Structure 1
Amino acid sequence: MGHAADSVTACLSKGLGASVGTIIAGSKSFIAKAKIPRKTLGSGMRQVGVLCAPALVALEENKAKILAEGLNKIKGLKVDTASVQTNIVYSDILKGSNITETHLCKILEAHGVLTMPKGPFKLRLVIHHQISESDVKYTVLHSESCNWVHW
């Protein structure tokens, strides 16, 4: 990834809980050039290990894969588990399920699970760094126990 670009940026904070916002990667000459405007705008380069450690922990301890695999087992839902690489999970509601993404979001919200409709028959779920494995299992359980496929 990044072979066709001179530089790559990645946001580490958001829901992952890493300690800073964005990192930039590129050639030594690109980074040398990037340091000048960065310092001018008031930011300083920090120790890479200190920045990367929380990001690695956030990704390694992330429960999104568990959520994706659990949702994928529910009749009427489909998750491309291979595409789950961060804390974001997209789930498709299969046609013929007789429920909209908005209605499913409302059902889950009644159980304290907030999701976002992401288009016709598609949900977006994001795992925050403080979400535990038992929270994920709770979400899957309530998604499954709604018996919404028969509506």
Structure 2
Amino acid sequence: MKALIKNTALILMSLLTFYQAAQAACQVGDYKFQVNLSGETMNDANTYEQAFFSDLRNDHVSVINTKTGREYIFDIGMVTDDGAGNFGIDAISSADGTAFSVFHDHEDWHNGLSGDFSLPSNEIIDLSSVKDCDYDSLF
């Protein structure tokens, strides 16, 4: 019985990792990433041009290593939005102490994003090579 439960748990975890990897919208190298923000945080950013992540369950940046399936969550952060198509996300991971930063310029987003993120291994992943990752793809 324990073996059945363990195997079922492993299968469910694998499916969850696959689902999360499929949901991440933009990719750089072996990493897919997506910004997940609640309606409240988005509205605050649109209204006040900046907002801290306010929904502890839903506001985060998810980065998934497509080779290993490891997911990194950046859950403490802030979003800026000037209402003209320029926006930025700055976040840190409360679990790993790593950082994620991205800026999207509405006029030259197709040339690459500005920003990077760090991993627990101290590796820094540059996002400037990410092409055509528009607002709808990132969120």
TM over 0.5: no
Q: TM-score, normalised by structure 1?
A: 0.28
Q: TM-score, normalised by structure 2?
A: 0.30
- Structure ranking higher in strand proportion: 2
Which of the pair has more CA radius of gyration?
Answer: 1
